[in-house]
């Protein structure tokens, strides 16, 4: 008999049943993660009233989660290189859902912040690991679409968490809203456990801290990856800051909107769901270098529109910012996965570390700008961040591709 070498499993291609099952599981996971993480954002004015804290202090209910998420992802991404992708992802969803339910029972402000801090740690096992999972299991020609659909799940989850939070707070209380989102998270964890395919291309590594530190150093020495990490910080910092203080602006005269009405404005996330998938696919065809900077320009135009007083123009500006942000994030996140030569989960974790560090730090600093200069101060801060991001995106167009990162339009 002639021994034949084992055939390497093919990677998942768009249009196949396996690709659809993969994206359904990832969509549910992203939905749950972002619903749990961002359900508190429209509730910041409510927390200020109930617990008698300032806007900047109230924003800690989100900033603590994203800050601890940023740091913990560096550990979770490295652990997944040893333990595998799916076990880390499922455990992350389950523990986060349970903590969300417990946070709804928090008796005081301190205990609520502790619960939100722990949620940031447990959520860390999904975002970076999912990005690496997609880069390993999906055919390179379909990665942009797959990542866009995953980020679309993030967008729907973020939108739903905000809308559910706003509506149920008006109908009952913020505790009811957060508790229900935790129950939805439990259902998503079960769906991921049952439906997410086991890794076919994952190669486990031995738990050697020095090797993990060495590979992290390799990522940080790559100027292209450093620029993409900076993009994550700037884009997410500006995006979250805009949404954090929008609620404060719209609950004040002349708008005086209810929590339900403010939550409805977060339906702009639907455009993010569409733009992340569409722009991800467009970047696959035209090249990431040609599309990323356009998304940032769209965000800048949206920020300018929010400076007007008319509610229609403010809403149009939020839609434009949301479209540009999710499109840009879809491009940058998939770019990291393709550019990293090895330890892709770790590279994704570094990207998301910067992403959530921007959310945590700039999201809270924005409260100082709101207190000192109102909405023009917030919009000015965001515009400065986006101008820096635009400069980096234009510089990336001049950067040569690596052998693992072949931009489709440039190759």
Q: Where along the chain do its domains lie?
A: 17-198+210-396
Unique residue bearing structure tokens 């207190």: 371
Count the Cβ atoms, other than its own, within 10 Å of residue 34. Answer: 25
Whole-number pLDDT of residue 326: 86
Kindly report the pTM of this predicted structure. 0.71
> What pLDDT is stored for residue 2 in this prediction?
45
Q: Given phi > 0 = left and psi -120 to 50 = alpha, else beta, which region is 117?
A: alpha
204 neighbors 30 (Cβ within 8 angstroms): no
- Is residue 259 within 8 A of residue 167, CB to CB? The reply is yes
Predicted pLDDT at 307 = 96
At residue 411, the pLDDT reads: 36
Per-residue pLDDT of the chain (411 residues; tens, 9 = 90+): 444 444 556 776 767 777 777 778 888 888 888 889 988 888 888 898 899 998 888 989 988 998 898 888 778 766 776 677 788 888 899 999 999 999 999 999 999 999 999 999 999 888 768 877 877 777 777 777 777 777 777 777 877 777 887 788 888 888 998 999 999 999 888 888 877 777 766 665 665 666 667 767 777 778 888 999 999 999 999 999 998 898 889 988 898 888 777 777 777 777 777 777 677 777 777 777 888 999 999 999 999 999 999 999 999 999 999 999 988 988 888 888 778 767 676 787 788 889 888 988 898 899 899 999 999 999 999 999 999 999 999 998 887 765 555 554 443
* pLDDT number for residue 179: 93
The residues facing 12 across adjacent strands are: 138
Q: Is the sign of the CA dihedral 256, 257, 258, 263 positive or negative?
A: negative
Residue with tokens 């708008």: 255
Q: What integer pLDDT is reported at residue 45 of this predicted model?
A: 85
What token pair was written down for 397?
Answer: 């167009």
Contact between 381 and 301 under an 8 Å Cβ cutoff? The reply is no
pLDDT tens string 43-100:
888 898 899 998 888 989 988 998 898 888 778 766 776 677 788 888 899 999 999 9
Q: How far apart, in whole angstroms, are the C-alpha atoms of residue 165 and residue 97? A: 15
CATH number of 17-198+210-396: 1.20.1250.20
* C-alpha distances in Å from residue 227, one per residue of 198, 220, 325: 32, 10, 16
């Amino acid at each position: 008999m002639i021994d034949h070498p084992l055939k390497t499993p093919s990677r998942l291609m768009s249009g196949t049943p396996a690709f659809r099952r993969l994206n359904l599981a990832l969509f549910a996971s992203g939905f749950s993660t972002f619903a749990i993480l961002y359900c508190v954002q429209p509730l910041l004015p409510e927390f200020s009233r109930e617990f008698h804290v300032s806007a900047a202090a109230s924003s800690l209910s989100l900033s603590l989660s994203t800050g601890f998420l940023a740091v913990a992802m560096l550990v979770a991404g490295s652990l997944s290189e040893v333990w595998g992708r799916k076990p880390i992802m499922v455990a992350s969803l389950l523990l986060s859902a349970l903590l969300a339910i417990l946070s709804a029972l928090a008796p005081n402000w301190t205990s609520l912040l502790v619960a939100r801090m722990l949620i940031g740690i447990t959520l860390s096992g999904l975002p970076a690991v999912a990005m690496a999972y997609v880069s390993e299991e999906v055919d390179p020609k379909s990665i942009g679409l797959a990542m866009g659909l995953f980020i679309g799940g993030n967008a729907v989850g973020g939108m739903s968490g905000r809308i559910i939070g706003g509506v149920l707070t008006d109908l009952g209380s913020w505790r009811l809203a957060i508790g229900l989102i935790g129950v939805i998270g439990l259902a998503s964890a079960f769906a991921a456990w049952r439906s997410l395919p086991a890794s076919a291309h994952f190669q486990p590594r031995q738990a050697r801290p020095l090797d993990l530190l060495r590979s992290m150093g390799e990522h940080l020495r790559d100027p292209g990856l450093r620029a993409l990490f900076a993009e994550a910080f700037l884009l997410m910092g500006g995006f979250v800051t805009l949404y954090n203080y929008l609620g404060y602006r719209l609950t004040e005269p002349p708008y005086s909107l209810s929590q339900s009405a403010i939550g409805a404005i977060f339906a702009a996330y639907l455009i993010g769901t569409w733009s992340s998938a569409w722009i991800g696919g467009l970047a696959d065809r035209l090249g990431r270098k040609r599309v990323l900077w356009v998304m940032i320009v769209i965000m800048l135009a949206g920020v300018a529109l929010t400076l007007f007083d008319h509610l229609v123009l403010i809403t149009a500006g939020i839609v434009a910012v949301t479209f540009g942000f999710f499109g840009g994030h879809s491009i940058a996140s998939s770019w990291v996965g393709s550019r990293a030569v090895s330890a892709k989960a770790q590279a994704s974790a570094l990207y998301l570390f910067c992403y959530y560090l921007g959310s945590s730090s700039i999201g809270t600093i924005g409260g100082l700008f709101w207190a000192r200069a109102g909405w023009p101060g917030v919009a000015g801060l965001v515009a400065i961040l986006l101008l820096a991001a635009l400069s980096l995106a234009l510089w990336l167009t001049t950067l040569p591709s690596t052998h693992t990162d072949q931009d489709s339009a440039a190759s």
